Amino acid sequence: MRIAIFCLFTFAFLLLTACGNAASPTAVSNRPISINDRPTTNLPMPPSKPFAEMSWTLEDDRVQKLGDLKGKAVILDFWATYCEPCKREIPHLNSLVAKYGADNIVIVGLNVGGDEDRAEIPQFTTTTKIDYAIAFPESDLTSFIFAHNSAIPQTAVFDRKGAMITKIIGFGPTEKRELDEAVEKAIASFD
């Protein structure tokens, strides 16, 4: 009986002393803590270069930068032909072009579907009316937009000065309302 009580007491003592709180992580360098070179913070990472220098290649192989569109509200819509929410967003983007006019707003559909999807765009545009330019984003722009979430569509709205107002992920009634509010704010901004 003594042995059983001794063993039980020893086991309880070891259990209580072994299950203490772990030590906090300690930085061993002045680099931010990351996992697989991905930040572990929920704060947005700054872009790798100024927004004005972020660019995309249009279907006719011309390179356009966000800075080229200063003075206009800009919507950059990251999409793919196989994405159902992207398809539902296109008519609304067309309506924004019609409502505000090309003098006030520029919408660029930035295809991020990969090489296979790029080949599908000509067929897609014959069956789907798109009233804005289609282009392909540079890697710096794509990395910034998809830094924390790779879902599509992602829609970034910039004001007339080139400052980002918001980034919206997905498309549904709530996202449509957010987009409309952001576009109103972008249109209202002046130099």
Q: pTM, whole model, 2 decimals? A: 0.74
Q: Which two structure tokens, joined as six digits, stand for 68?
A: 């080229």
Distances (CA, A) of 44 to 41, 109, 167: 8, 23, 11
The helix/strand/coil state of 30 is coil
- β-pairing, 55-58 with 38-39? unpaired
CB 81 within 8 A of CB 121: yes
CB 178 within 8 A of CB 166: yes
Give every CB contact of residue 4 below 8 A, 6+ residues apart in sequence. none
Q: Residue 34: pLDDT above 60?
A: no
Q: What is the CA radius of gyration of the chain?
A: 25
pLDDT tens, residue by residue, 138-183: 999 999 888 888 899 999 999 999 999 999 999 999 999 999 999 9
How many Cβ atoms from other residues are within 10 Å of residue 183's Cβ?
24
Q: What are phi and psi of 178, to 5 degrees?
A: -60, -40
Residue 45 confidence class, pLDDT cut points 50, 70, 90: low
28: Cβ contacts below 8 Å, ≥ 6 apart = none
Instruction: Quick: pLDDT tens for 128-148.
Output: 999 999 999 999 999 988 888
Length, in residues, of the chain: 191
| Residue pair 52/66 in contact by the 8 Å Cβ criterion | yes
Where do the domains of the chain lie, and which CATH numbers do they carry?
51-188 (3.40.30.10)
**How many percent of the chain have pLDDT more than 70?**
76
Residue 65 sits at φ, ψ, to 5 deg, of -110, 155
